Structure 1
């Protein structure tokens, strides 16, 4: 499937407390770990691949599930999950170029390949792929597109080219970000998407 540029589906625009966070320190001052959010880290000493969901749980629904399925038992896994009864996005969505949670940074410091799973608004099933790791980005986009999913490499709102974007903070300074629309997360083949991404990562040469 070709990757024609289109206008992306924007996230819902709203004013929220998280908009004012300059980094994780601000979030942690305003929110309580174990009550508002939790952090899951599973390091795999034999892998230099990290799969992360920095807006997991109820912040961006189903991204935790996809991250776990992609990582399996083979790759490093990091998930920041919103567990509030309500208002998870507005209180806990620390934008990706400000996401500097220390446990995540520590994990990524020993990883050469990083794939970040995200969710965005949209009533059309689409995967919007960004990041600075051009070869891995292209391979991931192709394998998702091969499932018949409308997959975009460019011309969307989430290029993830800021070096401070959490997907680009592995030790090579490049990574991949995958934004899945709400329609894709709710009604799309999540298990097939996870398996497709996982297959690309399993095929990476050992470092």
Structure 2
């Protein structure tokens, strides 16, 4: 049975890190409400595409307009089974909104599944919920995560109710581990068996 999930996004969040989990989680039967503080359902946030080309940091280009399907001030975190926190530049200012931090704290206090990717852990650090966790993030966010009390590792990691990845190239493993936390069973057909 599908779960109800909350996704917190904002302008210049990473395009793939918003669009891919939003669609993938819906594809397996979950309901995903995408919200942004100070924006209404039906309004859009602008995304950015981050590419890794061997430079000291990522290259950022304009992505898509991503339409919100819920209004943050109208949602009650207790109505949701899990939380998704994408990365990009949005987390650096989303973490300044108390409504965002309060929502994040609810999911940790209730032990509900949380998936955070890339710069998303900046929000978790600001909410004060990372103490004692083993996790990962975009490597440049590592100092903030460690200052918040976590043990940082260099791979997609699930610790208790939290699954974390470093960036959108981690999607297959990160989404799979989150689906596992949500209690989904995903099976893949064996292509060789179809030829028999």
Question: TM-score normalised to the size of structure 1?
Answer: 0.35
Higher relative contact order (CA 8 A, sep 6+): 1
